[in-house]
């Protein structure tokens, strides 16, 4: 007689317990998916900068130390709550198609492309990688706006100094770098500058068997950062660097042009709020982010808070149902997107900062795919996004390619305030595509409803629901919880590890009468919460 293998006998990629320490600092905490970038931000806090200054320094540093997730060629959203205020602001530098975007440039193959989204396939995958995959790179505009509207008088050159130093030193050639580059190597090799930087001798870099890793510079990125430090961030869009960038893009065959750059300006608006059971307010980026779906989940779970001390089986089962219903509604009208497969790795970065006064910044920024377009511009060293992948390439469809169009995306930075406007306050977010929403909601539920500490919440096993068709559950959850989840819908039991990446990578900060603290994702090998004292 043949029997199904037990859960305990399922193949495992790891045989250890992962943990990350809490960061607690008098002058604040910076949490990032890379410890060197977080340390750059913490140094800005210690030098007298505020949370916005530190967030900008961290974001630029990430371009040099975590280039596959974000950078000067990316896009994003930030939510900012100033100390003493009760309403947050959104810094919107989300994806926008170039003005010369033409659906005719993306002829269909007649087959489905089961990648990040189950869109129809495009000839040459030109919406997924290469020069026609670029949306307008708005990250520098977002960082500039964050600095101008919410930062101190600290010079931009000071904020860029850590990134310049890290870029000139080069990317660490350690095991995680090997893993990340290897996953994109088959496409990186198609583009000359990308291959030169990331594939020495035609292969991903391999760290030394003993000793310390070497470093490899990222083309002309360091020089571009130095130019911005001297000329100012606006030069990226309306100065000498903008002219060089437009020429760089034209040389490789892209359609983002000087006018697209000149017209690129991040906007600031009041953050939409979600009521959390009458006890808290969740300040979101709103619009075309995951915020409307987060609101649907919050409303669907309003009568089902997790028990004090932590979630139980019934709560997880109810969350599975509510999230699948919310995603069915979100994806309605997107056609084939309802069948989309989820990516196997993170391709976004999130950082959260709180300063000593209590100002909070939650900033999510991305290249979309890991390594974005996989195309490094040869003269400026900018690794460009592949934001055109967010659009359905079928002409006339919902979420279709059009000049200046904005697609639906999955980012979900949030700030939390008590309903009475008091304390404690939180900032949170995550990377991980459509997995982001589930992780952010659960981190909020664990802390706001169950009263868990940041440290306990970050290490609590979670579930993931990335669409209407099923649930993934952390294998560390109790058998009773797994049984309850299986009873309400299709269930896959998976590990929470480095790769395959089955869950998003959240981080969170908290500020209250007892000071500032933060925590990063345990399964992200480079992540850290770095305190400023």
Residues labelled as active-site residues: 348
Q: Do the Cβ atoms of 73 and 383 come closer than 8 Å?
A: yes
Cα 158 from chain centroid (whole Å) = 25
Q: Are strands 491-494 and 471-474 parallel, antiparallel or unpaired?
A: parallel
Distance CA 108, CA 328 (A): 26
Q: Do the Cβ atoms of 491 and 470 come closer than 8 Å?
A: yes
Q: Which two tokens stand for residue 34?
A: 């890379």
Short-list 339, 297, 296, 294, CA closest to 319: 297
Distance CA 205, CA 422 (A): 50
Short-list 452, 412, 457, CA closest to 436: 412
Strands (E), 323-451: 348-355, 360-366, 414-418, 425-431
Distance CA 138, CA 342 (A): 25
- Helices (H) and strands (E) counted in the chain, each on its own, are 15, 21
Cα 489 from chain centroid (whole Å) = 28
Q: Which two tokens stand for residue 458?
A: 């970050």
Taking the C-alpha atoms of 190, 191, 197 and 201 in order, what is their torsion angle to the nearest 10 degrees?
40
Q: Do the Cβ atoms of 240 and 250 come closer than 8 Å?
A: no
Biggest distance spanned by C-alpha atoms of the chain: 74
Distance CA 69, CA 56 (A): 16
49: exposed, middle or buried (Cβ count in 10 Å: 0-12, 13-18, 19+): buried
Element at 319 (helix H, strand E): helix 313-331
Short-list 433, 469, 428, CA closest to 446: 428
Distance CA 436, CA 434 (A): 5
Interacting residues of 249 by C-beta distance below 8 A, sequence separation 6+ = 131, 134, 255, 256, 257, 377, 384
Short-list 526, 522, 528, 529, CA closest to 19: 522
Short-list 62, 18, 52, 95, CA closest to 349: 62
Identify the three-state secondary structure at position 492: strand
Q: Which residues pair with 384 in a beta bridge?
A: 73
């Amino acid at each position: 007689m043949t029997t199904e293998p037990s859960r305990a006998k399922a193949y495992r990629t790891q045989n250890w317990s992962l943990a990350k320490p809490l960061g607690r600092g008098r002058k604040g905490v910076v949490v990032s998916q890379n410890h060197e970038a977080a340390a750059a931000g913490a140094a800005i806090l210690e030098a007298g900068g505020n949370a916005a200054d530190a967030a900008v320094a961290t974001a630029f540093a990430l371009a040099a130390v975590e280039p596959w997730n974000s950078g000067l060629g990316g896009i994003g959203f930030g939510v900012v709550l100033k100390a003493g205020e009760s309403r947050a602001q959104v810094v919107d530098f989300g994806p926008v198609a170039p003005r010369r975007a033409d659906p005719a440039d993306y002829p269909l193959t007649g087959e489905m492309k089961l990648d990040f989204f189950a869109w129809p396939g495009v000839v040459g995958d030109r919406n997924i990688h290469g020069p026609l995959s670029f949306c307008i790179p708005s990250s520098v505009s977002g960082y500039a706006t964050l600095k101008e509207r919410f930062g101190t008088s600290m010079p931009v050159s000071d904020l860029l100094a850590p990134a310049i130093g890290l870029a000139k030193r080069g990317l660490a050639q350690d095991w995680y770098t090997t893993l990340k580059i290897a996953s994109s190597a088959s496409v990186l090799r198609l583009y000359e500058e990308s291959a030169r930087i990331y594939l020495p001798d035609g292969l991903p870099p391999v760290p030394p068997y003993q000793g310390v890793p070497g470093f490899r510079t990222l083309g002309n990125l360091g020089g571009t950062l130095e130019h911005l430090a001297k000329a100012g961030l606006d030069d990226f869009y309306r100065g000498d660097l903008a002219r060089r960038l437009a020429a760089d893009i034209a040389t490789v065959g892209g359609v983002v042009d000087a006018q697209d750059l000149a017209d690129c300006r991040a906007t600031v608006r009041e953050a939409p709020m979600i009521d959390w059971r009458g006890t808290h307010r969740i300040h979101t980026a709103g619009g075309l982010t995951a915020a409307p779906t987060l609101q649907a989940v919050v409303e669907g779970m309003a009568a089902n808070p997790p028990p004090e001390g932590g979630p139980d089986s019934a709560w997880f089962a109810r969350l599975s149902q509510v999230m699948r219903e919310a995603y069915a509604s979100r994806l309605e009208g997107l056609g084939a997107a309802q069948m989309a497969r989820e990516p196997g790795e993170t391709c976004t970065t999130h950082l959260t900062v709180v300063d000593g006064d209590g100002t909070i910044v939650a900033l999510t920024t991305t290249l979309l795919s890991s390594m974005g377009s996989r195309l490094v511009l040869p003269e400026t060293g900018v690794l460009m996004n592949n934001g055109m992948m967010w659009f359905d390439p079928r002409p006339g469809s919902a979420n279709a390619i059009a000049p200046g169009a904005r697609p639906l995306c999955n980012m979900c930075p949030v700030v939390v305030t008590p309903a009475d406007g008091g304390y404690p306050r939180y900032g949170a977010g995550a990377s991980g595509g459509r997995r982001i929403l589930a992780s952010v909601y659960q981190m909020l539920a664990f802390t706001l409803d169950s009263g868990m500490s940041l440290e306990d919440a970050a290490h609590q096993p979670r579930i993931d629901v990335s669409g209407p068709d099923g649930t993934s559950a952390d294998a560390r959850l109790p058998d009773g919880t797994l049984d309850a989840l299986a009873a309400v819908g299709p269930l896959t039991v998976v590990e929470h590890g480095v790769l395959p990446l089955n869950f998003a990578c959240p981080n969170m900060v908290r500020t209250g009468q007892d000071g500032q603290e933060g925590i990063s994702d345990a399964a992200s090998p480079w992540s850290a919460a770095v305190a400023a004292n």
